[in-house]
Amino acid sequence: MNDAELPRGSDLIPDGSFVKVIMHLRKGGLDGQGEADRGLLKATKTQGSDVKMLDCEFTVTAGPHIRRKFWQTFTVVGGKVDEQGVSIGWKISKGIFRAMIDSALGLDPQDMSEGAKAKRMLRGLSDLHGITFAAKVRVEPANDPRYSDSNRLDRVVLPGEPEYAKVMAGEGVAAAPSNRPARPPTAAATTPPAWSGQAATAPAAPAPRMWERPAATSPTPQPAAPAPAAGGPAWLNG
């Protein structure tokens, strides 16, 4: 085991960091629209809510934070609606997904030519599995003292922005902190919820040997669905 790679620390990616990431989708068991998104979506834990989400894992692919991960969900169905009855959460998510495609393919966001529009066409949300793009990451303060702060996607970095070319080339870019004020913590419950994996007064158990621990189950990667043009999504062809 002497030549094994040492574990990475659990430190967060610094607030405002610019990184190149690849996004993988984690199937949640609920069907989306169409055969391509069967079993793809995840239900919210909020009781009585009709929200369905896309569960995404982001992995940094280059630079000083390489292999660091963070996770985020995006509403694609349900929740509050606008005057036309369209999910507000979906409208926000749809804009983010379009920005991911523009960033991945180097498309000018203002380019509405037939060729550019064709590249933004998806058979389903499953086509976004494996997309690689430039991102700015923020640190989101926890609103519950029992949990740690976490990384989130602050925004997608688009072609034409000064950081874009360097990020996509894997070069280091100075961070630009988001300067979001920390949210005030809420009062902690006496007993943690079951899903937190914490016990209030559980005695420390002897640490098992590594080979006695159950192996983590990695989500089965969803095969990238082809875009309208032959050969699959354009970001998988480069």
Per-residue pLDDT at 163 exceeds 90: yes
**52: β partners:** 43, 77
- pLDDT band for position 150 (50/70/90)? very high
Per-residue pLDDT at 114 exceeds 60: yes
- pLDDT band for position 211 (50/70/90)? very low
Stretch among 1-10, 26-35, 126-135, 188-197 having the lowest mean pLDDT: 188-197
Calpha distance 109→99 (Å, rounded): 8
Q: How far is CA 214 from CA 73, 84, 136, 217, in A?
A: 26, 49, 34, 9
- pLDDT computed for residue 146 by the predictor: 86
Task: Give tens-digit pLDDT for 40-75.
Answer: 999 998 888 999 999 999 999 999 999 999 999 999
Per-residue pLDDT at 215 exceeds 70: no
- pLDDT band for position 188 (50/70/90)? very low
Any idea what DSSP says for residue 225?
P
* 8 A C-beta contact, residue 192 and residue 144: no
Per-residue pLDDT at 132 exceeds 60: yes
Mean of the pLDDT values across residues 99-104?
98
DSSP string, 97-135: HHHHHHHHHT--TT--SHHHHHHT--SSGGGGTTEEEEE
Give the Cβ contact number of residue 83 at 10 Å: 5
